[in-house]
Structure 1
């Protein structure tokens, strides 16, 4: 599964190979409320086909209508703004009088889309600099903390995974977590020393590393943009890796298991000199309580919790697995003998 913006780039590449004129639209600034963040992209082909999104739909409709009426006539990039007045904001579906500024770039061989995709396929983090006066593009390495930059002279966008996820275990649940995380722009690594699980791995975009998980955690040098989820149910694989991950700056460390198994895991980790402060970082039982039972639903639950932590959202206790299950059990039992 590709992220939305990677899908946009791949579609642009396919259109260019077909000799179809197209343009890339990028959100470069927003004021007030805006449905899509800075850096979001949209591609429009000369025949009106579109992929991606830069707003709630009305801005896209206007861009598509102009292409269908006038064709793609731009030869150089252009900056356009929607929603300057309250009337225009309402017309284009921008909430609360929001304003959105876009860079519209006609694509050609000098756009270097194939080279960008080749670097992304190698899991590189890439800075793409577009000269607004000439339309020329240069590509270079980007740092994890870099963000979109725009000036009167150039637009620099960042492409590739800026967040890392290490999944311990190559089972069915791990496959669902990996697929969804790829679509969320994570660089995903799966680790499993067990041959039988590696042989049945079903996500070709994410190779399985044959190593002991704790060794790989150390080798990866986890930082504040890294997350680790342990999904093997095997303490021999999970515990040592969790011990190293909890001592790292990783923003999220979680492990699957029941409440009872989670309590036992915490007791074991204390024996490895994991401090109470470090142990408090461990999310377990992992995920949010959404009544999930299938592997795909559990994967969504895990990534929802990870996203909340990444975005600094303080979730109510009722969303936690332990509290949510307890409340659901109490509700299911209901009043007995007619007494509330």
Structure 2
């Protein structure tokens, strides 16, 4: 499954090259107060009224498309459109009370915009990051690859936005908890893989349709979840399986490594990993017990606590 940004940029490229129709890329540049979608959310639309993506999940899209079909940014390649400037507009458009959005609308051009669209799609496909910077006054875009995904930056003159691959979530263990966790993660746009060296567990998988990988856990981590956009979580309670995955994952640049288990189980696990010559710095990056402490007991409650912790960490400034 492709990440949402990848789908939207791919559709923009296809529309731009397939037909002589106007194509607009719309980005939430800034949000004040309550906002249905965060800054950086994308929508692409064309002169036929087709669209992909979301800015509000409500009537902003309808109003914006109507404006573009009627006016089409006359004389400009880029413009900022503000929503939520009054209580009456909030009520008419379905924005939360007090919410205000600034939307950057770009009229895409084959010669100037196709190169950065192609470069962004290539970077995402190769699990790398690319950052575009849009000059609001001219609509011109410059771009380049970057090591890490950065937060959107908008100063009123330029908008800088990073594009990168989906976060990949490797679940070690194909039990009931993995099934619920996979469901939640897929709904939140993660790329989910499940591995288990026990064929019987893979055969009994009743979760969503995701890649099921056999083989040794350390090999699977090394081959499929060892970059900065990867998350590895061990869930089997079997140290012969979990420790092998953790031993490998903690030596990689993986964004998050977590392990299921009580605090007593975690203490014993850390002792074993020290014997495998992992450093204290590497061990300090292990999230264990995995998930937020919300009193969860059932498999689905534990899955919710894990996803909540991932959301919390991904929203922290500077942690990308």
Does TM, scored on the shorter chain, surpass 0.5? yes
Q: Which has the larger radius of gyration?
A: 1
- In structure 1, the partner of 2:11 is 11
Say yes or no: does 1:242 pair with 2:243.
Answer: no
CA RMSD of aligned residues (A): 4.6
- Give matches, 1:153-172, under 5 Å: 153-161=157-165, 163=167, 165-168=169-172
SS state at 2:119 partner = helix
- Give matches, 1:317-332, under 5 Å: none
Say yes or no: does 1:282 pair with 2:283.
Answer: no
Query: Contact (CA 8 Å) 2:153, 2:160: kept in 1 or not?
Result: yes
- In structure 2, the partner of 1:253 is 258
* RCO comparison, higher one (Cα < 8 Å, 6+): 2
- In structure 2, the partner of 1:332 is none
- In structure 2, the partner of 1:272 is 272
Q: Report how far residue 25 of structure 1 moved.
A: 0.6
- Give matches, 1:75-224, under 5 Å: 75-109=76-110, 110-112=112-114, 113-144=117-148, 146-161=150-165, 163=167, 165-168=169-172, 181=185, 184=188, 186=190, 212-213=217-218, 216=221
TM-score, structure 1 normalization: 0.67
User: Using a 3 Å threshold, how does the CA distance of structure 1 residues 251 and 182 change in structure 2: closer, same or farther?
Assistant: same
Query: Contact (CA 8 Å) 1:170, 1:208: kept in 2 or not?
Result: no
Query: Contact (CA 8 Å) 1:2, 1:183: kept in 2 or not?
Result: no
Which deviations, in whole Å up to 9, do the C-alpha atoms of 1:154-202 show, x marking residues without a partner? 221111137553433589986986686466455667666789999xx9x
SS state at 1:147 partner = coil
Which deviations, in whole Å up to 9, do the C-alpha atoms of 1:40-67 show, x marking residues without a partner? 0111211112211111412112112223
Aligned length: 300
User: Using a 3 Å threshold, how does the CA distance of structure 1 residues 135 and 170 change in structure 2: closer, same or farther?
Assistant: farther
Q: Distance in 2 between matches of 1:269 and 1:100?
A: 48
**Structure 2, unaligned runs of 5 or more:** 275-279, 314-320
